[in-house]
Amino acid sequence: MALKTSLRLIAKRIANAVKAYASNEGLPRGEYDLIRTYDNKNDQISLTFGTVRDIDERRWYAGILQEIRRSFPEYPQMTMFIGLVIREVRNPDEIYTNALVGEDEIDLTELFDRFLDERS
């Protein structure tokens, strides 16, 4: 599957899945952030989720990927195209300090932020 077909739709579904999982876990939007890139060459989306809360990173990793899988009922294998890192940080902006966008990558952070910040 070529992810290029509709990055906007994919971004919205992923952002809503992350927002839903965080909300269900009682984590408000101001206590986490998400960096996203898309690699044109490999059709790969990379996500870095950072939060100021003390969390079980393995549980959150599994939970977010499961929520993403659920948001693509017609193609649950979507997670094969998604890399996810979960990090505890002192403040949400800290995840940006080591964020590098590669030559073949597109920064999707602003696009995802619009969807994360939308009211449900």
**Domain with 109 in it: what CATH number?**
3.30.300
What H or E segment, with its residue span, contains residue 69?
A: helix 57-70
What percentage of the chain's residues is helix, strand, coil (to nearest 5)? 50, 20, 30
Whether the predicted pLDDT of 56 surpasses 70: yes
Tokens of 82: 């998604």
Convert the pLDDT of each residue in 19-47 to its tens digit.
999 999 999 988 898 888 888 788 888 89
Query: Which whole number is the average pLDDT over 95-105?
Result: 66
Cα–Cα distance for residue pair 109/61, rounded to 1 Å: 19
Could you tell me the pTM of the whole model?
0.81
Domain that holds residue 83: 3-117
Domain count, the chain: 1
Position of tokens 């995840």? 95
Sign of CA dihedral 26, 89, 63, 20: positive
